[in-house]
Structure 1
Amino acid sequence: MDYQKTAKELVPLLGGKDNIISASHCATRLRLVIDDESKVDKENMEDMEGVKGAFSSSGQFQIIFGTGTVNKVFEPFAEEIGLNDQTEEKNQKQMDHNEAAKQNMNPVSRFAKVLSNIFVPIIPAIVAAGMLMGLLNLLNRFGWVNPESSLYILLDMFSSAAFIVLPILIGYSAAREFGGNTYLGAVIGGIMTHPTLLNPWGLQDGDVQPEVLSFIGMDIELLGYQGTVIPVLLTVYVMCMLEKFFRKFVPNMVDLLVTPFLTIMSTGFVALMVVGPLGRLLGEGVTSSLSYLYDTGAGFAGLVFGGLYSLIVLTGVHHSFHAIEAEILGQVGFNYLLPIWAVANVAQGGAGLAVWFKTRNKKMKEIAAPSALAAFLGITEPVIFGVNLRYRRPFIGAAIGGALGGAYVTITNVTANGIGVTGLPMFAIANEPVNYAIGILIAVGGAFIATWILGWQEEEKQPKKEAPNDDKDNEEKTEKAI
C-alpha cells in the first residue's frame, strides 16, 4: 500500500484541504472534523485500497484503516493538509465545531463521552495491574512460587498499587476533563486515600472499625476511598466548580497562593463530610444492583448484555462502562462484566469471518479477513462498520453469537482482573481461562452459523453516470431531427 498516494487521494474526496478543519487518529480510525460533510465523497472513499469503512459520528467524520495502518496514513495526510500550519481563523473554527458537536450530543452521549475522556487514559495502568494479578493467580494455582517468597510479595505489591492510588489517577484525569487544575485533582484523590483513613478492605475483618471524629456537630467516619470511583468523580467535579468560583473573586496577584488554598481546604471538608459518603452510597448501590442481577439471573443477564453490547457500541455509550467496571473491580475484587463484552466483540469477528467465506465481492474479502482478526484481538470498529453493518444481517448474527457466549461465561462465573482488554488478550487477566475459551468458541461459532443462515444482499455497484457532453447531446438532437 502506498500511504503517500492514499493520503493524497483522500484530500479531494473529503472536499479539499479547506474543508478539513482538524485531523487526528485513534488505534484504528482517522478522525476528522469537516466543515461541510455534503462535499465528502464517501462512496468512492470506501473503494480505496486500505479503507475498511467510513461514517460520521459525534461531530467527526471517521475513516477506518485498521491497527498499524492508520498511523502510517496519518503522517503523510497531516503533511498534505498542512495540519501543523493552522491559521488562527482555522483554530477558532475548529473550537467552534468541537463545541457545536458537543452541544448536539444527547445528554447520555455527552455523559458517556466525559467518562470516556476520564477513564481511557487510565486503562493502561489498570490493565497492567490486572495482568500482574493474573500472573500471581497462575503462580499460586500451580504452586510455582511460594506465597511467602520475596518474588511473590513484590509482584503482589506491584499488582495492587494501581488500585490503591486509583482515586489519585482519577482525580488527575477528571480535573483535566472538568476544566480544573489537574494537580489539585490529584491532591483530592490523595486526601481520599490518606493513610489516616481506614482502607475499606480492612472492613472485611469484623473486628476493625473506622474511627469517628466529631466536627461542628457532625460525625466524620475516617474511612478511605481506595478502589472507589464514583465518590472521587463527584468530589473532583465539585472541586473544579469551587476553583472556578474562587478564581472569579481572588485578585490576580495572589491567585496562585489563595485559590489553591481555598479550593483544597473547602473541597477536603466537602469530600469527607458530604460528597464522599453520598458517592460511596451511590457506588455501593450500583454495584449491589448489578451483583444481585448477576447472582440471581446470570445466564439471562449474560444473554441480554452479550446480545445488546454491540448495539450499545454504536451509540458510544459503552465508554461509560469503564467507570462501572472500575467501581465493581474496586468493591468486589473482580470484574464480571468484561467477559461478556469480550465474547460480544469476538462474535463480531465470527460474523465477519462468515462474510469472508461467503461473499463474492473481492473488495469485501480483502476487508473482512483482517477486520475479523482485529475483532478477535478486541478491536471491533473495522468489522462492525466496514463489514457487518454494511450488510446489516451479519450484525444481527454477531448479536446472536454474543448473546450465546455471554450466557455461557456468566453461567460458568468467568471473571477478569482488569478492564479494557477483550478478545484473545483477555486470557491474560481471565480467572477461568478454560471456560472463557469455550465462551469464545460459542460466540464465534454461533455468530458464524447465524450469519451464514441469515445471509445478506450483496451490494451491486451501480455504473457511474457519464459527465454531460454538450457536443454529443447536439449530435443526438440533430440525428433525431433528421
Structure 2
Amino acid sequence: MATDYKKIGEDILAVVGEGNILSITHCATRLRLEVKDRMLIEDQEIEKIDQVKGVFFNAGQYQIILGTGIVNKVYESIIQNNPVFQDKVTNLEEIKKEGNPIKRGIRTLADIFIPIIPGIVATGLFLGLKGVVLNDTVLGFFGTSADHIPAYMLTLMSVLTDTVFAFLPALICWSAFKKFGGTPIIGFVIGLMLVSPMLPNAYSVADINSGVNPIIAFGFIPIVGYQGSVLTALVIGILGAKLERILRKRMPDSLDLMFTPFVVIFVMMLTGLLILGPLLHFVENGLVYVVEGLIHVPFGIGGLIIGFFISVSRNDGNASFIYYD
C-alpha cells in the first residue's frame, strides 16, 4: 500500500496545531517546526502517526523524525496543501531566540548549507567515479590509457565534477536569501555575478603560471571571481536578504517589483566585488593558515582544538553543516 504523505502532513498539523507553528523547515531526516507553545503538543500522538520514528524538542525547535526521503515528501505536501505555510518557511520574525549564541549560529549555518548538501554529495561521488575511470591501473586492465579517452568524454566528466564547486557561491547566496526571508532568485543572480566568466577566475589568478591577473579598480582594489569562496557568498547572501526586506517595507507597491531587485542586486554586487570580497578573501586565507598551523601543532594539541569545535557542532540539537543529521 502506497504511503499517503498528504495524510501524514495533515495528521502532524492536527496534533501540533496550525496556529502553533511559527516556521517550518526540514533537514535530511527530520521535519523541524518552530512552535509558539511546545506544551500544546502531545508527543505520544505524534509518534502514533504513520512513518514517524520519534520526536524531540531542542533550542526552540520541535523535530519530528521521519527518515530520508520521507521527510521531503511530507514537507512538500504540507507546503503545497497549506499556502499559509509558504510564508512561514522563511519567516524569522517570530522565531524564539532560545539556546546560546553558538547553537543559534550553528543552526543558522545548518539551515543555509543543508539544502545544498545533496548537490555536493553527488559531486563527491562523481569525483570518486572519475578517479576510478581515469585510474591507470583500471584503464590498463581494459588495455587502454587516459590518452585514448575521447575529449568529449573528459569534458562531460568535468561538467559532472566541477559545476557545483564552480557555482557554489550562487548556491550559497540562493540558500542564504531563502533562509533570511529574501527572494531566492535574487540571491542566485548575485551569486552568479560573483563567479561571472567576465571576471578573472580565482583559481587562475592563484596559479602563478597561468598569467592571469586580477582587475585593479581605483588603483588598489583587486577584482576577481570568487569561485569556491564560501565566506564571501555567505555574508553577501545574508546582507542582501536583509537589505531586500528593508527595501520592501519602504518601497511603494508600484515600484517594488522593478526597483527592489534592481537596488539589491546593484548594491550587493558592488559591495561583494569591491569591498567585502577582497576583505573576506584575506579572512579566508587567514583561517586556512590557522587550521594548517593547528594541524602541525605537536602532541596532538591542534587536533584536540579542532575536535573541540567539531564536537560543539555535533552536540547541537539541530545539527550543523559538519554533522547535519
TM-score (norm 2): 0.72
Q: Distance in 2 between matches of 1:253 and 1:47?
A: 50
C-alpha spacing 1:37/1:15, structure 2 compared with 1 (3 Å): farther
For 2:106, give the aligned amino acid. Answer: A
Q: CA deviation at 1:182?
A: 2.1
Q: For 1:387-416, what per-residue CA distance to the aligned partner results, in whole angstroms no more than 9, with x for missing partners?
A: xxxxxxxxxxxxxxxxxxxxxxxxxxxxxx
Q: Which residue of 2 aligns with 1:115?
A: 109
C-alpha spacing 1:15/1:85, structure 2 compared with 1 (3 Å): closer
C-alpha spacing 1:123/1:60, structure 2 compared with 1 (3 Å): same
Q: Which residue of 1 aligns with 2:146?
A: 147
Q: For 1:362-392, what per-residue CA distance to the aligned partner results, in whole angstroms no more than 9, with x for missing partners?
A: xxxxxxxxxxxxxxxxx96xxxxxxxxxxxx
Q: Distance in 2 between matches of 1:98 and 1:248?
A: 15
C-alpha spacing 1:310/1:48, structure 2 compared with 1 (3 Å): farther
Q: Are 2:16 and 2:40, in contact at CA under 8 Å, matched by a contact in 1?
A: no
Q: Distance in 1 between matches of 2:249 and 2:221?
A: 31
Q: Are 1:34 and 1:60, in contact at CA under 8 Å, matched by a contact in 2?
A: yes
Q: Distance in 1 between matches of 2:168 and 2:17?
A: 43
Q: Are 2:216 and 2:223, in contact at CA under 8 Å, matched by a contact in 1?
A: yes
Listed as ranges, the matches of 1:76-155 within 5 Å are 84=81, 99-141=93-135, 142-144=137-139, 146-148=145-147, 149=149, 150=151, 151-155=153-157
Q: Are 2:20 and 2:37, in contact at CA under 8 Å, matched by a contact in 1?
A: no
Q: Which residue of 2 aligns with 1:213?
A: 216
Q: Which residue of 2 aligns with 1:267?
A: 268
Q: Which residue of 2 aligns with 1:283?
A: 284
Q: For 1:54-78, what per-residue CA distance to the aligned partner results, in whole angstroms no more than 9, with x for missing partners?
A: 3211323334454577789x69x98
Q: CA deviation at 1:280?
A: 1.2
Q: CA deviation at 1:26?
A: 5.2
Q: Are 1:167 and 1:225, in contact at CA under 8 Å, matched by a contact in 2?
A: yes
Q: Are 2:112 and 2:175, in contact at CA under 8 Å, matched by a contact in 1?
A: yes
Secondary structure at the counterpart of residue 198 of structure 1: coil
- Return the structure number with greater helix share: 1
Q: For 1:261-282, what per-residue CA distance to the aligned partner results, in whole angstroms no more than 9, with x for missing partners?
A: 3332222222221111111112
For 1:189, give the aligned amino acid. Answer: G
Q: Are 1:165 and 1:226, in contact at CA under 8 Å, matched by a contact in 2?
A: yes
Percent of aligned pairs sharing the same letter = 31
Q: Highest Rg: 1 or 2?
A: 1
Q: Distance in 2 between matches of 1:282 and 1:222?
A: 16
Q: Distance in 1 between matches of 2:255 and 2:19?
A: 43
Q: Are 1:116 and 1:320, in contact at CA under 8 Å, matched by a contact in 2?
A: yes
Secondary structure at the counterpart of residue 210 of structure 1: coil
Q: Are 1:170 and 1:189, in contact at CA under 8 Å, matched by a contact in 2?
A: yes
For 1:279, give the aligned amino acid. Answer: L
Q: Distance in 2 between matches of 1:191 and 1:71?
A: 30
Q: Which residue of 1 aligns with 2:202?
A: 200
Q: For 1:65-101, what per-residue CA distance to the aligned partner results, in whole angstroms no more than 9, with x for missing partners?
A: 54577789x69x98xxxx9579x8xx7xx89x97554
Are 2:155 and 1:161 equivalent residues in the alignment? no
Q: CA deviation at 1:117?
A: 1.9
C-alpha spacing 1:297/1:172, structure 2 compared with 1 (3 Å): farther
Q: CA deviation at 1:162?
A: 0.9
Q: Which residue of 2 aligns with 1:223?
A: 224
Q: Distance in 2 between matches of 1:119 and 1:59?
A: 20
Q: CA deviation at 1:32?
A: 5.2
TM-score (norm 1): 0.52
Q: Distance in 2 between matches of 1:119 and 1:232?
A: 12
How many residues are aligned here?
Answer: 307
Q: Which residue of 2 aligns with 1:372?
A: none
Q: Distance in 1 between matches of 2:125 and 2:32?
A: 30
Secondary structure at the counterpart of residue 61 of structure 1: strand
Q: Which residue of 2 aligns with 1:190?
A: 192
Q: Distance in 2 between matches of 1:169 and 1:250?
A: 27
Secondary structure at the counterpart of residue 103 of structure 1: coil
Q: Distance in 1 between matches of 2:265 and 2:46?
A: 52
Q: Are 1:102 and 1:110, in contact at CA under 8 Å, matched by a contact in 2?
A: no
Q: For 1:6-40, what per-residue CA distance to the aligned partner results, in whole angstroms no more than 9, with x for missing partners?
A: x99xx89x995759835876554454566654465
Q: Distance in 2 between matches of 1:68 and 1:188?
A: 30
Q: Distance in 1 between matches of 2:56 and 2:208?
A: 53
Q: CA deviation at 1:46?
A: 7.4
For 1:191, give the aligned amino acid. Answer: M
C-alpha spacing 1:251/1:298, structure 2 compared with 1 (3 Å): farther
